[in-house]
Structure 1
Amino acid sequence: MTFETLNADFFGFENQLSDQEKQLIVELRAYLDTEVRPIVNGLWARAEFLPPSIVKGLADLGLFGQPWDETKRFDNSAVFRGWVALELARVDASVATLVGVQNGLVMGSIAVAGSPEQRTEWLPKLASGEILGAFGLTEPLSGSDTAQGLRTTATKEGDSWTLNGAKRWIGNGSISDITIIWAKDTADGQVKGFIVPTSTPGYSATVIENKQALRIVQNADIVLENVVVPESNRLQHSKSFRETAAVLRLTRAEVAWAAVGNSIGAYDAAVKYAGERVQFGKTIGSHQLVQDLLAKSLGNITSSIAMVVRVSAMLDEGTQRDEHSSLAKFFTTARMRETVAWCREIFGGNGIVLDYDVIRFFADAEAIYSYEGTREMNTLIVGRSITGTAAFV
């Protein structure tokens, strides 16, 4: 199999990848096209999680644990990891979310805030897909204000901690083997992270029903009632929300990449449909208004690719800051919303039928637009950088 840049990569940014990185992209595309693409519409319609064989297949490709020394297959770049997120999302955003949660939020929490012993114990199990993880930060009454408004508590009692509280919108929360729970220490008021096996007494998770975006992802409400975990399960380097923010900084840029991938999924479907659908005696792709929608969509995608390539390169260089990933996240997700709407418009009435794919990308865009920091919160992070003044309430 030879490497070819995507049609939507109009300026050929993918050519910046190394030969080894390109080869894995080729393998990933082949796997997604043969094993994942044929089943995603059915899973999405039924709100069912991926079969275990698919999770194992993703793990076997080395998608879990790419950045971490204990588990990475080769010395890959942040730009490459972004392209992986894009490739996953252009087939299905739920698949990209699964990998993002496992690889970034869960393994990232342990890699960033865990001790060497914790990294050695947990990262290989997560990388192999032997266990699945979830990331428990958002709460029923605390979303954008988690830095200050976290209500879940952790109380030290001898050599163990007792956790009490609730979490909401936790991806993989009902099927995970462990969940990283962020809680406020009752002694010093600082946020700390804990590795919580989901079999621990007092831990319960309930799938959130009637969700109309990212339907393959099993988001859950989690309740913690006197959940006792040993000190050895506290992330040893988590001393405040700074460590939580460091994890989010790593993953926010990859969400921007997933937004671009979701846009491309809708764009690819629209281009294909425009070449097949005949109206007024010719394909609709030969009509000016359809070409206008496609050209505007490609413009959004191209500008977004340029931004995410650069922001991930800055991560590789060690120069990326919160405001950089925040600008990328809110810009690309806003452009994604425009793009999926224009692409859905090309289908007319057929655009609301799942058989044509585009409605799945259209609906999933709303979730990507909201998670990992809303547009408003990310604009305030950027605004603080511009003006030097924090405008958070």
Structure 2
Amino acid sequence: MNYRRFGKTNLNISIFTLGLMRCCYSENQLFDTVNKALFLGINHFEMARAYGKSEEYFGNFLQTSNVNRQNIIITTKLTPSESQKINKATIQKSLDNLQTSYIDCLAIHGINTEKHYQQLLESDSYIYSLLEAKQEGKIKYLGFSTHGNLEVIKKTIETGLFDFVNLHYYYFFQRNHPIINLAQEKDLGIFIISPADKGGMLYQPPQKLKDLCHPFTPLELNYRFLLDNPAITTLSLGAANPDELLIPLQVAEKDYPLTADEIKTFDKVEQSLSHTLGQDICSQCYQCLPCPENINIPEVLRLRNLGVGLDMVDFARYRYQMFENAGHWFWGNKGSKCTDCGECLPKCPQNLSIPNLLRDADSRFKGSQGRRLWE
């Protein structure tokens, strides 16, 4: 296992983090998975109050194992209340659950909208109770996770309140690259969320993608793409059991620059996308927004790019069905809400027939409503 400095926290964190969302349903399951992760060199464990009994089980693990607390780095996430008293009680509850005197890293769970950003600036903002807990040593470092747009994330970082950010950024979603650069400039630790699942369900890729990536696997290439960037500290690994740690951690010591063969493989993927989609490929410039019907046009067309261009239909369907069902965690209406107003058409530098592509995506990917994994 290799390790990297987590920005201004100066914590030395394993380049893979064990997220406890999927192994929190059984205490024995969590114990077994955490023990295996420690054996393999992982020293950073991420959980949340929203993830079942992850904090309680991990606290029991700390008390019953022979692991030195000083060698364990804990991140947990909190959904803040407007009440300072409730926030203080929530932090204390996490400390009690974890049976520890301090939390290494506390992340605000989801600064996703302009309203969430504005709440940070209020004179009686919840942030003061978190900063007070930090001054008292109950929290060592403060960060935030986000599903927001570039502007919201940028402004949140520039408040100077935070030491790290939990971010969505993958080979198949590079929109947040400017945030990587800004976070590096501000010396924030960068924790990439769910690269296997949100990154494309790469643990069960379609045959076309497997063939294009051979002799590598799609999952391996996504990890290598991320670890090629020295600004990124650690990648979330959501193993449900010890065996699910083994394949991802085959790259746990491969955080060097991309090789010529890897670069050639990425080029092959891009060429296939371009060839298959032809003039219908969306370049993800985002100039089509805002949409009067609140359709997240770029994301719908990104999913169409992947579903049509690389046969990533299961992933496209899984994410598309989140629209209208996950609130600020995954904003926007489905393509079926398009009214042919035509407002997006002159904005598109590629002259895409956006309404037709939205309807095509809807016909391909619509289905039963989706839910966030931790629900």
TM-score where L is the length of structure 2: 0.23
If asked which structure has higher relative contact order (CA below 8 Å, sep 6+), I would say 1
Q: Which has the higher helix share?
A: 1
